[in-house]
Amino acid sequence: MSLKPFKLLRYSYHLTYPKLTPIITSGTFDKPNAMAASWHTHISFDPPLYCVSISPDRYTFKLIREYGDYAVNFLPFELSDKIWLTGNFSGAELDKFKEFGLRKIKAAKINAPIIAQSLTALECKVINEVETGDHVLFIGEIVYAWVRPDLVVSSRGMLDPNKAKHAYYMGEGKFITLNPESIKEF
């Protein structure tokens, strides 16, 4: 079958899904916020930089601007419901940690907490912002990283796909995870 035009350009982002979808934490340990974000990526090895794309309409945007940091928390697939919930309610109106059963631990180097149920988490300090249409890219230097040690299978931090079942958002409220049997080695 050949490619055909996709005319709904506003929804073309769906054509790039599924996306690994973490929860971005912001604020402080005592007044935390959590928001699902599918638009994120590493952008530099040295220094290690990680960016997230956040709408200025979001409470998370306000908190990242106020405190200058955020954490990127990668939860397991079985907690996809928590990811979904954090993306559908505003932290300005409720404590998402309390309401959705997220346990928090103090970060090592930033104000925002880390989600204890995470497989991995990255602490980032904002070093730059880039306006990109209706979102802003917060570029953060990774200043600390967390990982469940039972998941690591290489000296460079590769995770065991049989144990680290990440949550990938497909769009429209659907999540999947990877099938380790589909891995190809080259």
Q: How far apart are CA 63 and CA 25, in angstroms?
A: 9
Q: Is 171 left (phi over 0), alpha (psi -120 to 50) or beta?
A: left
For range 21-46, the mean pLDDT:
97
- 185, pLDDT greater than 90: no
Write out the DSSP string of 121-136.
EEEEEEEEEEEETTEE
Q: What is the mean pLDDT of the chain?
A: 95
Q: How far apart are CA 169 and CA 7, in angstroms?
A: 22
89-148 pLDDT, tens digit per residue, is 999 999 999 999 999 999 999 999 999 999 999 999 999 999 999 999 999 999 999 999
| pLDDT for residue 126 | 98
Report the percent of the chain where pLDDT is more than 90.
90
pTM metric for this prediction: 0.95
Domains recognised in the chain with CATH numbers: 19-179 (2.30.110.10)
Please check the confidence at residue 181 and state whether its pLDDT lies above 90: no
Tell me the CA distances in angstroms from 109 to 73, 123, 146, 181, one per residue in order: 15, 7, 12, 37
Taking CA atoms, 40 is separated from 3, 106, 132, 140, in Å, by: 27, 23, 13, 11
Side chain identity at 70, as an amino acid letter?
Y
Q: How many CA atoms lie within 13 A of 125 on its CB side?
A: 8
